[in-house]
Amino acid sequence: MTYVIIEASGRQICMKPGQFYDVNYMNAEPGDIVKFNRILLLNCNGNIELGNPCLSPLKVKAKVLKHLKGKKITVFKMKAKKNTRVKKGHRQHLTRILVQEIIRAN
């Protein structure tokens, strides 16, 4: 079981090859290959490597599958005794990626 923890779009994400993940919108077309180079941890069959802060010889190769919108979030603001109410909604733009492989560059 091999997995990595990467830092992407301000979050830490645990990624395994062959699975897909939703990250914040990336300016790439569906079908493009993207590489993540901020690898914080690598677990390869129980052997754990920690970065300080990153593992520089590693990269994660992923394919952009599609762009989508996330779950709707309702924002409601109200000021008591002022009869002021504002209701807004927001859907975050996301990019779905498929992790293809973890590359060790020398």
Q: What angle do CA 72, 76, 78 make, to 5 degrees?
A: 180
Q: Let me know if residue 45 belongs to a domain.
A: yes
Q: Tell me which residue has tokens 């394919």.
A: 63
The pLDDT mean for the chain works out to 94
Give mean pLDDT, residues 4-25: 94
Per-residue model confidence as pLDDT tens digits over 79-103: 999 999 999 999 999 999 999 999 9
Bridge partners, residue 39, by sequence: 6
Residue 68 φ/ψ region, left for φ over 0, alpha for ψ in the -120 to 50 degree band, beta for the rest: beta
Q: Let me know if residue 85 belongs to a domain.
A: no
Answer for the pair 61, 17: CB distance below 8 angstroms, yes or no.
no
Rounded to 5 degrees, φ, ψ at 95 are -125, 130
Prediction pTM value: 0.83
Task: Give residue 6's pLDDT.
Answer: 94
Give mean pLDDT, residues 59-88: 96
Residue 31's domain comprises 2-68+96-104
- Total domains in the chain come to 1
Q: Let me know if residue 38 belongs to a domain.
A: yes
Task: Give residue 104's pLDDT.
Answer: 84
